Amino acid sequence: MSSRPVNAPDDDDLVFKAIASATRRRILDALRERTCTTGELCDLVADLDRTTVLQHLRVLERAGLVTGRKIGRERHLALAPLPIKRIHDRWISDYTRAAVDLLDRLDGP
């Protein structure tokens, strides 16, 4: 576990880096549907070897987007949506509101 504070300045950078990859977005989409084992995620991205998939999972975990727990010999992974909500609240919603305001002014009287 990391010792840096949860809202450290680089948290957003880690999330943006994590979601920049199409492979990692595929993994997140799968985890949005249900908890998966590491093996199931490796099967999902069968075009990549297991080591590469595990590297992608480490990036997602470092960004706080995925949590895992060991059950017997299997590792079960789940989506942790709070970092994405933080990105939405901090970046997307404000820019969406600004774009809508701009369009309203363009449509003005």
Residue 49: the pLDDT is: 96
Inform me whether the pLDDT recorded for 5 exceeds 90. no
Least confident of 17-21, 61-65, 100-104: 100-104
Label the pairing between strands 74-79 and 66-71: antiparallel
Q: For the whole model, what pTM was predicted?
A: 0.78
Least confident of 8-22, 64-78, 91-105: 91-105
- 56: how many CB neighbours lie within 10 A of its CB? 19
Residue 109: the pLDDT is: 64
Distance between CA atoms of 29 and 41, rounded to whole angstroms? 11
Residue 1: the pLDDT is: 46
Q: What is the assigned CATH class of domain 11-81?
A: mainly alpha
**Domain range annotation of the chain:** 11-81
Collect all residues with Cβ–Cβ distance below 8 Å to 66 and sequence separation of at least 6: 27, 28, 31, 57, 60, 77, 78, 79, 80
Instruction: Give the residue-averaged pLDDT of 25-41.
Output: 97
Tens of pLDDT, residues 86-99:
988 888 877 777 77
Question: What's the mean pLDDT when you consider all of the chain?
Answer: 88
